[in-house]
């Protein structure tokens, strides 16, 4: 496959990514491909750098080494202005929703349109109502963020994220802390929006079953490395003990239940803390 065709295939390509926080290595020469038009999920135990990966892709932080190509542009090398330009083509849904608390739902969704376009007010209204209709919150347009439930906050934030019709949306733990109904709604929305708007979605999550049921491709990362990659079906059948432990949610295995400690018996009889 030629280089050009390869670029078109993947909206984001990460090569040889190294990133450390202080002494803690988060990524050590990791590589990822996120195919265009698909839902790709990044899964792994807490603290393995899933959210960090999204922040690296969106250029909020810079890697120690490696290339992060988004639509062929190397993100760490972009100037500040180029970075802001690029971000208009990507959206990110935060765990908290991150709505602007001093504006209503309507104004939150209208905000990126007002900032980035010179559309007349009537057209802004049409677009905002369409986006709110897509997430089912057209009736909640006049509510303030403090009046919304957790699931509604995320849906309102999703409407704001798709307001500028991005090419790609990154979801940071979209299901965390949601009740089953809100979770079902969000799952359906992610899948539907991906199809209807021909988006590319990157979902960071550790809700295995929910994520596996909507994702086209899964990455499982642990301790700086990709330990599993493939379709959800392949990974469910994986022989790797680490992948099995994660996919089946086993309490003990390669990731031990006990934090490393001295021998239990010695500790109990030793008498020192």
Partner 1 sequence: MIARLRMIGRSGLNVLQILGRSGVFVAMSLFGVPNLRRALPLFIKQLYAVGVLSLPIIVVSGLFIGMVLSLQGYTILVDYGSEQAVGQMLALSLVRELGPVVTALLFAGRAGSSLTAEIGLMKATEQITSLEMLGIDPLRYVIAPRLLAGFIAMPLLVMIFNVVGVWGGYLVAVDWLGVYDGSFWSNMQNSTDFYSDVMNGVIKSIVFAFAVSWIAVFQGYDSVPTSEGIGRATTKTVVYSSLAVLGLDFILTAVMFGDF
Q: Is 134 in the site for partner 1 (CB under 8 A)?
A: no
Q: Is 98 in the site for partner 1 (CB under 8 A)?
A: yes
What is the pattern of x (binds partner 1, CB under 8 A) and - over residues 160-179?
A: x---x---------------
| Closest approach of partner 1 to the CB of residue 147, in Å | 16
Q: How far is residue 83's CA from residue 63's CA, in Å, rounded to a whole number?
A: 15
Q: How far is residue 103's CA from residue 66's CA, in Å, rounded to a whole number?
A: 39
Decide whether 27 or 94 has the Cβ nearer to partner 1: 94
Q: Is 100 in the site for partner 1 (CB under 8 A)?
A: yes
Q: If you search the block for the tokens 């990362």, which residue do you land on?
A: 221
Q: Is 62 in the site for partner 1 (CB under 8 A)?
A: no
Q: Which of 11, 85, 31, 47 is nearest to 204 (CA)?
A: 47
Q: Is 155 in the site for partner 1 (CB under 8 A)?
A: no
Q: How far is residue 118's CA from residue 230's CA, in Å, rounded to a whole number?
A: 43
Q: Is 200 in the site for partner 1 (CB under 8 A)?
A: no
As given in the structure block, the two tokens for residue 267 are 């500790």
Sheet architecture: strand order including 90-93: 90-93, 168-172, 200-204, 39-43, 217-222, 225-230
Which span (3-11, 25-33, 86-94, 222-230) binds partner 1, by CB under 8 A?
86-94
Q: Is 70 in the site for partner 1 (CB under 8 A)?
A: no
Q: Which of 9, 33, 69, 111 forms a contact with partner 1 (CB under 8 A)?
A: 111
């Amino acid at each position: 496959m030629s280089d050009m065709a390869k670029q078109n295939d993947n909206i984001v390509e990460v090569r040889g990514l190294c990133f450390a926080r202080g002494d803690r290595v988060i990524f050590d020469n990791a590589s990822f491909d996120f195919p265009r038009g698909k839902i790709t999920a990044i899964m792994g135990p807490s603290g393995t750098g899933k959210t960090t990966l999204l922040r690296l892709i969106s250029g909020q932080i810079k890697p120690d080494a490696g290339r992060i190509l988004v639509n062929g542009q190397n993100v760490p090398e972009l100037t500040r202005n180029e970075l802001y330009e690029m971000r208009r083509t990507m959206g990110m849904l935060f765990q908290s929703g991150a709505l602007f608390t001093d504006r209503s739902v309507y104004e939150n969704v209208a905000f990126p349109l007002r900032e980035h376009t010179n559309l007349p007010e009537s057209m802004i209204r049409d677009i905002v109502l369409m986006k709110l209709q897509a997430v089912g919150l057209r009736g909640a347009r006049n509510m303030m963020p403090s009046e919304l439930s957790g699931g509604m906050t995320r849906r309102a934030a999703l409407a704001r994220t798709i307001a500028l019709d991005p090419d790609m949306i990154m979801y940071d733990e979209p299901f965390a802390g949601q009740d089953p109904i809100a979770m079902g709604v969000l799952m359906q929305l992610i899948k539907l929006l991906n199809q209807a708007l021909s988006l590319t979605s990157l979902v960071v999550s550790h809700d295995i079953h929910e994520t596996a049921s909507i994702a086209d491709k899964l990455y499982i990362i642990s301790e700086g490395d990709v330990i599993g990659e493939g379709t959800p079906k392949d990974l469910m059948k994986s022989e790797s003990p680490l992948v099995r432990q994660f996919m089946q949610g086993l309490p003990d295995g390669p990731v031990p239940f006990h934090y490393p400690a001295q021998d239990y018996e010695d500790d109990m009889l030793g008498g020192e803390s």
